[in-house]
Amino acid sequence: MAYTILLVDDESAVREGIRNRTPWERYNFKVVGEAGNGIEALEMIEELHPDVVITDIRMPYLDGMELILEIRKSHPPVTIIIISGYDEFTYAQQAIRYDVSEYVLKPVTSEDICNLLERTEKRLDEDIIRIQDQN
């Protein structure tokens, strides 16, 4: 079964580029939805229950950090990856506090995304094994 991903970025060209240039199946992932802002993303998370959310930080209505905080309150196991054009240290600090798995700076290449997916798949697989071992 493929892990599911929700892409969140206010720039549709960025979402489209990531979606179309990434060999999702190779890394056992499937994009199940896209959102242009944090409010749309929260609605889609409630409906789709993705395993992973890839989000930008600066977005209208509800920014990425507020989105992450809401995800942590309502869906703590979701893996969160930030892809942002902002390298401000305060964002990185917040990301650590909110248990974000990865923080990647734009522009990202297909190779960057593939490496990110490889690491994420490994972590998710390890989490499943750990949970199975506990039961």
Structural domain harbouring 8? 3-134
Whole-structure pTM value: 0.94
Sheet holding 102-105, edge to edge: 29-35, 3-8, 52-55, 79-84, 102-105
**Bridge partner residues of 80 (DSSP):** 53
Measured between alpha carbons, how far is 134 from 113 in angstroms, rounded to an integer? 31
Q: Which amino acid is at 68?
A: I
CATH number at residue 63: 3.40.50.2300
Phi, psi values for residue 50, rounded to 5°: -70, 155
Q: How many domains does the chain have?
A: 1
Render 27-44 in DSSP notation, one character per residue: GTEEEEEEESSHHHHHHH
Tens of pLDDT, residue by residue, the chain (135 residues): 799 999 999 999 999 999 999 999 999 999 999 999 999 999 999 999 999 999 999 999 999 999 999 999 999 999 999 999 888 888 888 999 999 999 999 999 999 999 999 999 999 999 989 888 887
